[in-house]
Amino acid sequence: MGKTEENDALTKNKPPTEKDILAELELKMKKYLRGESANLEVLKDKKLKGQLAVKEQLYGKSAQAAAKAEKWLMPSEGGYLEAEGLEKTWRIKQETIAHEVDISSSRKQYDIILPELGPYTLDFTSSGRYMAVGGRKGHLGIVDMINLSLIRELQVRETVRDVVFLHNELFFAAAQKKYPYIYNREGTELHCLKEHGPVLRLQFLKNHFLLATLNKFGQLRYQDVTMGSMVGNFRTGLGRTDVMQVNPFNGVVSLGHSGGTVTMWKPTSSAPLIKMLCHQGPVSALAFHSNGHLMATAGKDKKVKLWDLRKFEVLQTLPGHANTLDFSQKGLLACGNGSLIQVLRDVSGTQNYSRYMTHSMVKGYQVGKLIFRPYEDVLGIGHSTGWSSILIPGAGEPNFDSWVANPFETSKQRREKEIRALLDKLPPETIMLNPSKIGTVKPKREKPTKQEREAEVEAAVEAAKGMKLKKKTKGRNKPGKRVQKKQEALSRVKRPYLEQKIQEEENMSRKKQKTSEGVELPKSLQRFARKKASS
């Protein structure tokens, strides 16, 4: 008999000593400090040193306060299924969990059978309060997940391939047969996005208010939802695919292609930022951990791989197919294949995922979409005959931040949040692989290109030409003198560039000499070579 142990890991142990608590706080502080401070001892500027020291101190205090709040003020604590003795967590069935949990949690296990309207796809709002449902055969709906009431349902009478909520539950987009459409909560069609064409997948970038679509012809489009402008339109050139996922950490859109490659895109560059070969066969699913470092891909080559996105290296390769993948807020990875669902968990915290739970649907139900409900230990399953919901203990973040996502939001709060979100909207160019680099010094360009240099010189020359000469008297205003002056000015302007050029050439030649010198002596004898300075 499996036993679910949530929130009582502490009660079993002895009360933690002060030392433990301090260590824990230290660990948490480290997280909030976001890295080490620079070495201030090196600084010569006393004033700056003092200022930075004060700043660091404040950062430390802030981190400490945050760590303390996290330790002591969080209303609930997360926990996982824990097996006793020979038990295995993955043998624990949903039924047994249902017996153990409270009524409100057990209500979250259900199957909705809607066999006729085809495989269903799901999407949750960021707070997890509302769910959008899209049946392949034109069935769209919004469900309030707290009281399980259907808010609106409509039948569009054409294929629906994907559904996605926009910034809040008031709007959602559906990829239909020919175009994607935007509906409001009442089911009124607001927009038909004809430019996007027959879209296969939709993603919404919440911080940037961008709707990213991928259509049948492999075109990736970004549309700004607030202004309606088309921000980006790129041809992937890698064929049709319906594997698309946004990295929640940085807003980079990743696509999985039939060539086994995964490409990552941002709306301001026409070439992919990253193109990596992940699988031997076509990529069938993609998912990102919310910390942005971890990516899971599944291929038709019967492999599920976990990637470290900082190094672009494989962390772990697991056997098995997966049609759909999803990371939960706490980092559980759900894989769906056929009618079987597996949830993997990083037990040791070393990015080593192992089986945590399994669930099999009724035979014949094909899982099409897995998505964890935010702030709940619930996994939503969209399958060929409706949708289901199962309990995965430890999946969701136990505490929600009402400034970020509030499941119990009132309409007034929602309105206010919408305004705030619009004010805080990020421009599309802030999407980059490492957004923490924003605000730092501009990466140096290796060299200005020849064209740029020429342009610079030209601009300087133009400026010099445009300069107006003073009107001088007493024979200094002769045309000859004026021309001379102008020429002088021009040469003065050109001079630094020419000097630079000469310098570079000299450097080059010197380098060549050096290399040639280095070549002359074998390495072992080089240390015996007489140095110029000593002689």
Is the CB of 92 or the CB of 140 nearer to another protein? 140
Smallest distance from the beta carbon of 521 to another protein, in angstroms?
Answer: 19
Cα–Cα distance, 118 to 457 (Å, whole number): 65
Residue holding tokens 């230290």? Answer: 26
Site stretch for another protein (CB under 8 A), options 12-20, 82-90, 409-417, 431-439: 431-439
* Contact pick of 82, 93, 106, 195 for another protein (by CB under 8 A): 106
Give me the amino acid identity at 231.
V
Backbone angles phi, psi at 135, to 5 degrees: -85, 145
Which residue's entry shows tokens 């050096």?
Answer: 514
Count of alpha carbons within 13 angstroms of residue 141, beta-carbon side: 20
For residue 390, the cross-strand partners are 379
Query: Out of 47, 470, 474, 530, which residue is the one contacting another protein (CB under 8 A)?
Result: 47
Element (H, E) at 87: none
Smallest distance, another protein to C-beta of residue 50, A: 5
Instruction: Pick the closer one to another protein by CB: 111 or 195.
Output: 111
- Nearest approach, Cβ of residue 282 and another protein (Å): 5
- Residue placing its CB nearer to another protein in the complex, 168 or 284: 284
Which region among 243-251, 425-433, 486-494, 525-533 touches another protein (by CB under 8 A)?
425-433
Q: How far apart are CA 69 and CA 534, in angstroms?
A: 64
Choose which of 15, 35, 75, 466 interacts with another protein (CB under 8 A): 35
Which residue is listed with tokens 């805080």?
424
Q: What is the closest distance, in whole angstroms, from the C-beta atom of residue 418 to another protein in the complex? A: 16
According to CB under 8 A, which residues from 481 to 520 bind another protein? Answer: 512
- Does 37 help bind another protein (rule: CB under 8 A)? yes
Q: Between residues 304 and 344, which has the closer beta carbon with respect to another protein?
A: 304
Judged by CB under 8 A, the stretch of 9-17, 36-44, 82-90, 411-419 that binds another protein is 36-44
CA neighbor of 418 nearest in space, from 406, 401, 429, 431: 406
The pair of three-digit structure tokens given for residue 83, joined into one six-digit string: 């097996």
- Non-local (6+) Cβ contacts of 369 within 8 A are 120, 121, 122, 324, 336, 380, 381, 382, 383
The Cα 223–Cα 267 span in angstroms is 9
Site string for another protein, 115-134 (x = CB under 8 A): xx--x---------------
Non-local CB neighbours of 427 within 8 Å, separated by 6+ positions: 208
Q: Which of residues 348-387 bind another protein (CB under 8 A)?
A: 362, 364-366, 384-385
Q: Closest distance between another protein and the C-beta of residue 337, in Å?
A: 13
Q: Which tokens belong to 455?
A: 């342009």
Residue 45, phi then psi, degrees to nearest 5: -75, 110
Q: Under 8 Å CB-to-CB from 463, ≥6 apart: which residues?
A: 493
Q: Can you name the residues that pair with 445 across neighbouring β-strands? A: none
Q: Which stretch binds another protein (CB under 8 A): 51-59, 247-255, 288-296, 465-473?
A: 51-59
Nearer CB in complex with another protein: 273/490: 273
Per-residue contact flags (x/-) with another protein for residues 145 to 184, judged by CB under 8 A = ---xxx-xxxx-xxx-x---------------x-------
Query: Where do the H-state alpha helices sit in 107-149?
Result: none
Window of 7-15, 106-114, 242-250, 372-380 that interacts with another protein by CB under 8 A: 106-114
Q: Does residue 436 touch another protein according to CB under 8 A?
A: yes
CB of 482 to another protein, least distance (A): 37
Backbone angles phi, psi at 226, to 5 degrees: -80, -50
Least Cβ distance, residue 90 to another protein (angstroms): 20
Residue 479 found at the interface with another protein (CB under 8 A): no
Torsion region of 138: left, alpha or beta (phi above 0 gives left; psi -120 to 50 gives alpha): left
* Cβ atoms of residues 370 and 334 within 8 Å: yes
Q: Residue 153 Cβ, how far from another protein at the closest point, in Å?
A: 5
Among 319, 443, 466, 479, binds another protein (CB under 8 A): 443
Q: How far is the CB of 347 from another protein (least distance, A)?
A: 28
CB of 479 to another protein, least distance (A): 42
From CA 295, how far away is CA 288, in angstroms rounded? 5
- Least separation, in Å, of the C-beta of 223 and another protein? 17
**Nearer Cβ to another protein, position 173 or 361?**
361
525 binds another protein (CB under 8 A): no
Smallest gap, in angstroms, from Cβ of residue 484 to another protein? Answer: 37
Spatial separation of the C-alpha atoms in residues 383 and 360, rounded to whole Å: 12
The residue among 351 and 430 lying less far from another protein, judged by its C-beta, is 430
- Residue ranges in 270-329 that form contacts with another protein under rule CB under 8 A: 271-282, 300-301, 312-313
Residues 382, 124 contacting (CB under 8 angstroms): no
- Would you say 260 or 331 has its CB closer to another protein? 260
Q: Assess 75 for contact with another protein (CB under 8 A).
A: no
The CA–CA distances, whole Å, from 126 to 100, 243, 407, 535 equal 28, 21, 9, 73
Q: What residues are paired with 178 via a beta bridge?
A: none
Q: Does 258 engage in binding with another protein (CB under 8 A)? A: yes
Given 24, 82, 87, 111, the residue binding another protein (CB under 8 A): 111
Tokens for 236, please give them. Answer: 């992937």
Residue 493 · residue 464 · CB < 8 Å: yes
Among positions 181-220, residues that touch another protein (CB under 8 A) are: 187
**Look-up of token digits 């099409």:** 368
DSSP 330: T
| Given 78, 138, 180, 398, the residue binding another protein (CB under 8 A) | 138
